[in-house]
Chains A and B, each alone.
Chain A
Amino acid sequence: MPSLDDLRKRITSVKSTQKITKAMKMVAAAKLRKAQENAEKGRPYSEKMNNVILNLSKSITDKENAPKLLVGTGEEKVHLCIVLTADRGLCGGFNTNIIKKAKSYFEKIISENKTLKIITVGSKGYDQLKRQYKSYIVENISFKESKNINYFDADKVGKIIIEKFEKNEFDVCAIFYNKFKNVITQIPQEQQIVPLNEDKDDKDVSGNDNDYEFEPDEDEILSNLLPKNISTQIFKAMLENSASEQGSRMTAMDNATRNAGELVDRLTIEYNRSRQAAITKELIEIISGAESL
């Protein structure tokens, strides 16, 4: 049985924890709105980019000589995985979910005797993966210093990927991130970016066979465009990720605040009960002492 003093201390400590989680929740809520806005603002760019590439790849007749970034190297031996996570913890299952998704993919690759290479973006992903997959991690990138997500950072990652591709260091590249559905739901995503998988939702483009004029020719445009597309996809993933992170943190902190409240209630009852018990005990002692006189 904890003493009254112990209980009082615990209540104060839980209350101050609650204050912190509450503050974190509110900060996350404010950041979430901004991140969501940014994700929405960034959407037209990647959508348009996708459209243009779809239109272009349809008009390519000579599939054999098409850029490798689009059709692949023809092999599937080396897989490069880009795992995008947050730089900070305390956001519920956010990081763990991505890692879980990525790990199941890794296991598949390894069991098929293919080579695995991992690039982690964000320090939390690196922390969680280094124990098990340290030998596979080729690069660890973190943008802790940049305050906002910007295209410049995404472009850096994109350039690394292109560079590795040109050196024939991998055949297939996939990125892992959390897609923001709403504040409570974030869906871990696996998206292949090299070779470019034809999107399933290309319905609006397939209908109109626009004969485009290309200047210069298709191949040249594509080879210029595809590297940009990689950066764009990464940027999109980063935007989705940041919105998801804030959403996830908000729900996690909301839960924590509520749990702390419940704990305080329970502890307060316990405190009151034992205080009452102590008083009763004292009274009984006095009364029985008085009776014995």
Chain B
Amino acid sequence: MSNLFNIDIVNPEQSFLSKDNVFEVVIPAVEGEIGILKDHIPIISFLKPGIIRVFSGSEEQSFYVEDGIVEFKDNTLSVLTSSIFDLKDADKNFVSESISSAEAELSKDNIDDQKRFLLNHKVEVLKSISIN
């Protein structure tokens, strides 16, 4: 018995990543990170800004996502996101721009706690990217 499953990451423009030999995926779900292995029960959740880590064989891929929906069913993990990029080809300028725009948003007074939390988190994640 293999312990591999499928992953499909799609964004509105195209199918971003599709693999059928994934061993484990760690997703930044809104209530904390979830590690998904084969035969996980069906789950629907949405994402907060963070890193998706995909482990297949000896390879590990990491992607930054801002938001999105994940669905796991029949050993297929579907990730729907409108903002995703591979950490390997992260654009330094883009990252720093995102940080400053998020910080600008944070300095506004009229945002609720949940948004503030998400923005804080986003800044944190983005900063950790730009250091690497």
C-alpha spacing A221/B42, complex, angstroms: 15
Contact at B14–A52, with CB atoms within 8 Å? no
Asked whether any CB of chain A lies closer than 8 Å to the CB of B62, the reply is no
Contact at A44–B15, with CB atoms within 8 Å? yes
Which of A154, A210, A211 is the most central at the interface, judged by chain B CB atoms within 10 Å of its CB? Answer: A210
Asked whether any CB of chain B lies closer than 8 Å to the CB of A228, the reply is yes
Contact at B42–A42, with CB atoms within 8 Å? no
Partner pick for A215 among B12, B29, B78, CB 8 A cutoff: B29
Asked whether any CB of chain B lies closer than 8 Å to the CB of A96, the reply is no
C-alpha spacing A151/B10, complex, angstroms: 13
C-alpha spacing A174/B128, complex, angstroms: 43
Which of A41, A56, A231 is the most central at the interface, judged by chain B CB atoms within 10 Å of its CB? Answer: A41
Asked whether any CB of chain A lies closer than 8 Å to the CB of B31, the reply is yes
Stretch at the interface among B43-51, B53-61, B85-93, B103-111: B43-51
Whether A45 contacts B11 in the complex (CB less than 8 A), given A215-B29, A216-B30, A228-B69, comes out as: yes
How many A-B contacts if CB must be within 8 Å?
76
Asked whether any CB of chain A lies closer than 8 Å to the CB of B97, the reply is no
Contact at A48–B41, with CB atoms within 8 Å? no
Asked whether any CB of chain B lies closer than 8 Å to the CB of A55, the reply is yes
Whether A48 contacts B73 in the complex (CB less than 8 A), given A55-B44, A151-B13, A212-B44, comes out as: no
C-alpha spacing A214/B82, complex, angstroms: 21
Contact at B15–A213, with CB atoms within 8 Å? no
Contact at B44–A151, with CB atoms within 8 Å? no
Partner pick for A45 among B10, B71, B73, CB 8 A cutoff: B10
Chain B residues positioned under 8 Å from A245 (CB to CB):
none
- Chain A: residues with Cβ within 8 Å of the partner, total of 30
Chain B residues positioned under 8 Å from A45 (CB to CB):
10-12, 80
Contact at A214–B15, with CB atoms within 8 Å? no
C-alpha spacing A241/B125, complex, angstroms: 37
Asked whether any CB of chain B lies closer than 8 Å to the CB of A280, the reply is no
Chain A residues positioned under 8 Å from B44 (CB to CB):
52, 55-56, 212-215, 221
Mark interface residues in A217-251 (1 if CB within 8 Å of B CB, else 0).
Answer: 00001001100100110010000000000000000
In this complex, what residue of A is CB-closest to B45?
A215
Contact at B13–A42, with CB atoms within 8 Å? yes
Chain B residues positioned under 8 Å from A38 (CB to CB):
13-14
C-alpha spacing A284/B55, complex, angstroms: 95
CB distance from A214 to the nearest CB of B (A): 6
Chain B residues positioned under 8 Å from A213 (CB to CB):
41-44
C-alpha spacing A166/B49, complex, angstroms: 25
Interface residues of B (CB under 8 A from A): 8, 10-15, 29-31, 34, 41-46, 69, 71, 73, 78, 80, 82
- The 17 sampled A-B contact pairs (Cβ below 8 Å) are A42-B12, A42-B13, A48-B8, A48-B80, A51-B71, A52-B44, A52-B69, A151-B13, A210-B73, A211-B42, A212-B44, A212-B73, A213-B42, A214-B43, A215-B45, A224-B46, A231-B82
